[in-house]
Amino acid sequence: MKRIVRSSLVVVAMVTGLCSAITSPSKAEVRTNPSVSAPIQDDRVVAQLFYPPVSDDPTFRVIGRGRASQPADRAKLQFQFTPNYYLESPPEGTVVSRFHEGEGTLTEEKLQPIVDALVRSGVPADTIEVRIIKANFSFFGGSQGGAEVVVKIETPTRDRLEAIVDTATEAADNIEEILLNTVGVEYAVDDCQVLEQSAYQSAVEDAQNRASSIAQATGAELRQVPSIAEPFYGVFLPGCNSKANLPFGTIAASPYDPNAPIEVEVTKDIFVTYTVK
């Protein structure tokens, strides 16, 4: 009986020690590892948005949001097509697969009338590209396959883009074997550096305005700017003439809107920490 009691006490002690190790950091580990700072017992840590405090003085942090845009130097129209599987109604009881392959697979020959119509309207043949997309399925989603007709335009204008879209759409309507799913557009500029600098400048000015308003409302006085940082999510956002670095693929072209401005817009966010008195 004594052995049972003694064993139970040992188990309880081990469990208690394990829970303590999980819920509280080891002091010995903090002291022996020079690269690990001692835990900071300060309520301000909660408001630091994953960044450590930059000063022992009272501080507050604001987010500056900047935006800059300029007319696009280049444009790319993307027409996405899929086979018209329902050209004829299938027999009753027939199951039609979303990832159908076979006679309905699109080919460059089936899309050639669209290319010919664009060339006749004045679009240079070397600015038109046909891409065949195979059906596929993955854990993150799937594609039923299809094709794309991509048209590159230098110095785009609203009338020029609209004329190209009308020509391609009309030509596709005359081909029974295909369906036009979406029309997307991408814009680009020749000099990204100037545009991004303007966006950063706008973000800094926005942060200064926000900080001044908060200081005035709280009766505080702003001092120097000890810390400026970009948010951690900035690496996932698309920059100028680039797609986002998302882990599961890139962002598709924006849907074509004939009323939208033909421009490239860049947005930037920054975290600015001010000391106050």
Element housing 235 (H / E): none
- CA distances, 118 to each of 173, 178, 188 (Å): 14, 17, 22
List phi, psi (to 5°) of 193: -60, -45
Q: What is the pLDDT of residue 95?
A: 53
Say what percent of the chain tops pLDDT 90. 46
Q: What is the pLDDT of residue 53?
A: 56
Contact by Cβ (8 Å): 254, 201: no
Q: What is the pLDDT of residue 228?
A: 87
Nearest to 176 by CA among 87, 82, 80: 87
In whole numbers, what is the pLDDT of the chain averaged over residues? 75
Q: What is the pLDDT of residue 92?
A: 60
Say what percent of the chain tops pLDDT 70. 62
What distance in Å separates the CA atoms of residue 169 and residue 150, rounded to the nearest whole number? 13
Q: What is the pLDDT of residue 18?
A: 39
Nearest to 242 by CA among 200, 196, 197: 196
CATH number at 44-70+191-275: 3.30.110.170
User: Is 44-70+191-275's fold the same as 74-87+98-188's?
Assistant: no
Tokens of 246: 């998302």
Confidence of residue 84 (pLDDT cuts 50, 70, 90): confident
Considering 46-50, 106-110, 119-123, the range whose residues carry the highest mean pLDDT is: 119-123
Q: Where are the domains of the chain?
A: 44-70+191-275, 74-87+98-188
Would you tell me how many other CB atoms lie within 10 Å of the CB of residue 56? Answer: 8
Q: Given 3-state DSSP classes, what are the helix, strand and coil percentages for the chain, each rounded to the nearest 5?
A: 35, 25, 40
Give CA angle at 261 (239, 75), nearest 5°. Answer: 60
What distance in Å separates the CA atoms of residue 97 and residue 112, rounded to the nearest whole number? 27
100 residue type, one letter: H
The three-class DSSP label of residue 187 is strand
pLDDT average, residue stretch 133-159: 80
What distance in Å separates the CA atoms of residue 144 and residue 100, rounded to the nearest whole number? 7
Tokens of 93: 């009881």
Q: What is the pLDDT of residue 277?
A: 80
Find how far residue 7's CA is from the centre of its chain.
Answer: 57
pLDDT digits (tens, 9 = 90+) for 222-233: 887 778 888 887
Find how far residue 148's CA is from the centre of its chain.
Answer: 22
Whether pLDDT at 48 is above 50: no
The residue assigned the tokens 């664009």 is 118
Q: What is the pLDDT of residue 153?
A: 97
pLDDT average, residue stretch 154-167: 97
pLDDT digits (tens, 9 = 90+) for 175-203: 998 999 999 999 999 988 999 999 999 99
CATH topology of domain 74-87+98-188: Alpha-Beta Plaits (3.30.70)
